[in-house]
């Protein structure tokens, strides 16, 4: 489904890479390249990263795999995140923390560019809000990156509307990546998606399936709802959950973390379905175990 707010800069379905490396499937260079090519052929051209994925190793593996794919850099979009500093001996950190100092942001982006083997990021996100972040220092760092052409646009991840507003006073925020799913439905009701609509911010949903399908024994009401939706919309269950997200007028961009090409195809099918309003609330009620108030 496409809405008037759908961002032309990114594919509606974004391919997440967190599980491609040592935190998940530990894909080989050939396997990385194969999945990049398969996603690209389906029109999934946006790839989501973070510097910390695979304990700071997944971006390097992706960069090597992308080079092997032979695809042009201009035909795809790279998103990455920085700001979480994991305890890491090679980096000299002993405590997990957040760091949004000027030099840390610049150094993080420079490393990501080198590891992804690219000259620029299409979008840089601040990974999680820090209680110590200084909006002025962040603005100076991001402006430097924009001026140098190292990033094309800037956004946030896991920021509340009030935290986003603080950053917006100094910078244009083009995206906010947050947990949104049938299971994590708070953004639909707590003002987070309203804020995106109001300020033309592209919402991106991490964990869009909410881990629901890993439960081998679903509540009877939810099992019944899935069975009915499968017949009505001719979709797999993972596609149903994505189509449910895509119903929102803010044009949510789900970030799918699968490494299975078949799931890419399922995700693509969700884009062609316009969930009926009553079905949207029916699925929500089936998961919650009660109707809306």
How far apart, in whole angstroms, are the C-alpha atoms of residue 54 and residue 62? 11
Report how far Cα 175 is from the mean position of its chain's Cα atoms: 10
The residue count for the chain:
293
- Residue 92: Cβ within 10 Å count: 8
Active site residue 53: yes
How far apart CA 275 and CA 272 sit, in angstroms, is: 10
CA–CA distance, 228 with 219 (Å, rounded to integer): 14
Catalytic residue selected from 53, 56, 233, 264 = 53
Exposure of 84 in the CB half-sphere (CA atoms within 13 A): 17
Backbone φ and ψ of 176, nearest 5° = -140, 115
- Non-local (6+) Cβ contacts of 146 within 8 A are 152, 154
Contact 190, 162 (CB under 8 A): no
| Alpha-carbon gap, residue 122 to 152, rounded angstroms | 5
Catalytic center residues: 53
């Amino acid at each position: 489904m496409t809405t008037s707010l759908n961002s032309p800069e990114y594919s509606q379905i974004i391919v997440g890479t967190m599980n491609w490396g040592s935190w998940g499937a530990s894909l080989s260079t050939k396997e990385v390249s194969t999945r990049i090519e398969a996603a690209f052929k389906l029109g999934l051209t946006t790839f989501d990263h973070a510097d910390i994925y695979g304990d700071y190793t997944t971006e390097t593996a992706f960069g090597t795999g992308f080079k092997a794919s032979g695809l042009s850099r201009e035909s795809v979009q790279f998103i990455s995140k920085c700001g979480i500093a994991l305890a890491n001996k090679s980096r000299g950190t002993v405590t997990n923390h957040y760091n949004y100092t000027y030099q840390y942001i610049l150094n993080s982006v420079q490393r990501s560019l080198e590891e992804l083997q690219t000259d620029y990021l299409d979008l840089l996100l601040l990974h999680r809000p820090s209680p110590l972040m200084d909006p002025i220092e962040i603005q100076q760092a991001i402006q430097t990156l924009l001026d140098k052409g190292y990033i094309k646009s800037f956004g946030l991840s896991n920021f509340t509307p009030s935290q986003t507003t603080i950053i917006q006073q100094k910078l244009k925020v083009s995206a906010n990546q947050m947990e949104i799913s049938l299971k994590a439905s708070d953004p639909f009701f707590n003002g987070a998606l309203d804020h995106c609509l109001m300020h033309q911010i592209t919402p991106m949903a991490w964990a869009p399936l909410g881990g629901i399908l890993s439960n081998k024994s679903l509540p009877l009401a939810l099992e019944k709802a899935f069975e009915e939706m499968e017949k009505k919309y001719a979709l797999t269950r993972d596609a149903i959950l994505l189509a449910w997200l895509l119903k929102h007028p803010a044009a949510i961009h789900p970030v799918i973390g699968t490494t299975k090409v078949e799931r890419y195809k399922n995700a693509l099918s969700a884009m062609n379905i316009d969930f009926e309003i009553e079905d949207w609330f029916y699925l929500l009620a089936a998961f919650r175990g009660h109707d809306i108030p």
